[in-house]
A and B are shown apart, each in its own frame.
Chain A
Amino acid sequence: MNQIKTARFRENAHDALVDKQLQAVLGKFSDGFPVKRAQAIARMPEFDALRDAARDIKNHALENLGAYLEEFEAKVVASGGKVHWCRDAEEARQTVLSICRDADAKTVTKSKSMIGEEVGINDFLEDNGVEPIETDLGEYIIQLRKEPPSHIIAPAIHLSKQQVADTFRDNHRNRVSDRPLESPRVMLDEAREELRGKFLGADVGLTGANMLIAETGSIVLVTNEGNAELTCGLPRVHVAMASIEKIVPTLEDASTVLRVLARSATGQDMSVYTSFVTGPRRSEDLDGPEEFHVVLLDNGRTELLASELREILRCIRCGSCINHCPVYEAIGGHAYGWIYPGPMGAVLTPGLLGMEVANHHPNASTLCGRCETVCPMRIPLPSLLRKWRERQFTAGVTPVTSRYGLKVWAALARNPRWYRGLTTITSALLAKVAGKTGRLRRLPLAGGWTGSRDMPAPQSQTFMAQWRRRTAARKPGSRPGRS
């Protein structure tokens, strides 16, 4: 399993902020995906209508999830495939391993799968004598470096090309050690050559699935590199791993989701390759695997389905919320300590790992709401983060200092006279301390906050005081707020 370091979020974030190399890479981040997304959406006037439709499709699918899952399974079986239901990560790992053992597999090629990351399939296979080989370029790079992905669609986005070059030099030992590896082009060609042989020699191909289609029993694979089709098309056995909420009813519904997926993710109108895989090769086919397996995983989804956090299950893993998150942009993906970073990760991670394990995530946000604005599935991410905060407070997970602070604030807020008195004194005091500059360089108990910015001093009088003065100046009998 990918090592879980979610509890170290504060330390991770701190380290990330002072990591010069990482900050240099993150500095370029907002010029990439967000700009491309905006351009793609400018070309699609119906984008908001598509988002509404996509949200409705998923809501309907989730509300009728049982029926659609059973229909999906029936169709997979009818087309010659097999569905393996798995309650948790351990069952999924064992299932994949047993399929690999039945196939007498030595190597497994893999196309990018977040479910594969979630259950930690690579380490598990390796520990059991089966060699997994990631084929998506980004995943391949981080596999060589033994790192988790730092972004759900751009797993190696935290690395500079120099780091990638060093990684290739360290790992591709059969090549001339001082070969030129300056440009990404050369590195890509080298990776392509290295992986060609792996594709051809693999016994099992392991993929994820962007969607499952109940109508046809198909799984949908979306890539730009073409690695998914080589992964599932060359070996004798194809295994697709997917969680249960990936289901959509029909091909038409999948089409609607596809129209928002690539635009939200990379800013393409359509990813280069979108493939609908249904069963193993037919008797007359000249290529394709002889076996087709779908590993269908719950791993906490049914609990989310039953909860007020259900809406996160609409997520299609486009990464748009991550691409627009100021917190992610500041600290990168690894700071989150697991595999799902950014806003979607902050909602999903405590749901999958437990609130105690990922207690910082829902709080590492100002609830600025950019994520909700760009989410193609209209997931109200800030509200869901707030729901986690409420749960934390109720369960007593919230740190003592925060609880104490909230209690003090609540007591004050319920006592307007105290509240007004205190704010009057404080704002006058702060204004005085700030002096002519109008800014405060340091604040007691808020050193972390003022460490990187100044606090603007209050305008000497509180709003309430100003309002009173304003209404007193008016004609007696006129009511405040009416003109």
Chain B
Amino acid sequence: MSNARRDILAAVAAATEKDPNAAARVADRLSVHAANVIPQRGAEGEQVVSRFIEEAERAGTDIRQVSALADIPGVVSAYLREQNLAGDVRISSDPISLNIPWADEALIAVSHGAAEPDDTASLSVALCGIAETGTVMMKSSAENPVLLNYLPFLHVGLLPQSRIVGSLEMAWSALRRASGEGVMPRMVNLITGPSRTADIEQELLMGAHGPQKHMVIILKEE
């Protein structure tokens, strides 16, 4: 297929302008990461937390706010009871989630590792919360495997409040700081609410292939 590569690139070259500065322009664009238009609702400032909550709830995310890690087991346990779900939760091995004191919550059985098909609930740690759309950014890693966000019935994103930013562009900056310039993890998942479909007669239904429920716990102190 190397002929295909050559032919396609030749056809592209023939169809586009020959500009001696093009290479430099392209290199520049790729390294500068210039933002284009950032809407007002993606602005940074104190309001990002309240905006994140408002937008996430609009998208169908259940928001809980806790002031300390110790409050999380109680919140998760209450939610599982509310939803009539079994009390097993698969927890990511992120340093933050590893420090949650689950032992105090007798009703919850905790496990770790990659998601299994029959998992009821999972909890993984978000890299960012994006206020403009109420989205969490999940970065794949050995600690936060991807399928925790997709296979279980309920996915809980744990979001330290200090990680809430205004816009998607700010989240990319955070990712570049976390992973290194030009280094992408295998997956970056932006998640905005529980899974849904409207493929049968345009009727919107929550709970398609991904989680039927999506909860974000905002943690005030890290």
Contacts and interface: CB of A to CB of B under 8 A. Distances in A.
Q: State whether these chains interact.
A: yes
A25 interface: yes
21 contacts: A28-B202, A66-B12, A67-B23, A69-B8, A69-B9, A79-B184, A86-B4, A141-B199, A184-B203, A188-B197, A225-B210, A229-B149, A230-B147, A233-B187, A244-B12, A250-B34, A252-B172, A270-B190, A273-B195, A274-B189, A277-B187
Contact of A270 (B11, B59, B146, B182): B59
A432 interface: no
Contacts of A188: 197, 200, 205, 207-208
A468 to B, nearest CB: 52
A287 B37 contact: no
Contacts of B23: 67
Interface string B38-74: 0111000000000000010011000000000000000
B11 to A, nearest CB: 4
B166 interface: no
B197 A225 contact: yes
A296 B209 CA distance: 27
Given A259-B39, A286-B113, A274 B190 contact: yes
B182 A302 contact: no
A233 B150 contact: yes
A207 interface: no
B114 interface: yes
Interface stretch (B25-33, B77-85, B97-105): B25-33
B86 interface: no
Contacts of B172: 251-252, 255
Contacts of A136: 199
B193 interface: yes
A151 B40 CA distance: 33
Given A95-B1, A244-B12, A272-B193, A285 B141 contact: yes
B1 A65 contact: no
Nearest to A269: B133
B13 interface: yes
B184 A306 contact: no
A185 B198 CA distance: 10
Give the most central of B14, B114, B186, B196: most A CB within 10 Å.
Answer: B186
Contacts of B9: 66, 69-70
Contacts of A69: 8-9, 12
B30 A275 contact: no
Interface residues on B, range: 35 or more
A478 B9 CA distance: 64
B160 interface: no
Interface string B158-202: 000000000111001000000000101111111111111111111
B193 to A, nearest CB: 5
Contacts of A256: 36-37
Contacts of A91: 1, 4
Which of under 10, 10 to 19, 20 to 34, or 35 or more describes the interface residues of A?
35 or more
B106 interface: no
B193 A305 contact: no
Given A64-B25, A275-B189, A225 B15 contact: no
A160 B201 contact: yes
Interface in A197-227: 199-200, 214-218, 224-227
A44 interface: yes
B122 interface: no
A44 B39 contact: yes
A87 interface: yes
A282 B186 contact: yes
Contact of B192 (A227, A233, A271): A271
A396 interface: no
Nearest to B175: A251
A87 B7 contact: yes
Contact of B8 (A85, A279, A280): A85
Nearest to B22: A64
B184 A272 contact: no
A287 B29 contact: no
Interface in B1-21: 1-2, 4-5, 7-9, 11-17
A272 B146 contact: no
A405 interface: no
Interface string A379-409: 0000000000000000000000000000000
Given A154-B198, A184-B200, A225-B196, A275 B59 contact: no
Nearest to B30: A215
Contacts of A259: 39, 168
B140 interface: yes
Given A258-B168, A306-B11, A276 B187 contact: yes
B125 interface: no
Given A64-B26, A269-B55, A272-B59, A225 B12 contact: no
A227 B209 contact: yes
A285 B5 CA distance: 32
A196 B114 CA distance: 17
A229 B190 contact: no
Contacts of A160: 201
A364 interface: no
B115 interface: yes
A288 B147 CA distance: 8
A272 B12 contact: no
A302 B37 contact: no
B200 A284 contact: no
A167 B40 CA distance: 47
A78 to B, nearest CB: 9
Given A137-B197, A184-B203, A252-B169, A275 B211 contact: no
A266 B196 CA distance: 12
A-B complex: 6 closest residue pairs judged by Cβ atoms = A226-B210, A306-B15, A302-B11, A225-B208, A138-B199, A278-B184
Given A188-B200, A274-B190, A286-B142, A84 B11 contact: no
A229 to B, nearest CB: 5
Contacts of B186: 277-282, 285, 288
B17 A63 contact: yes
B197 A302 contact: no
Interface stretch (A14-22, A46-54, A324-332, A451-459): A46-54
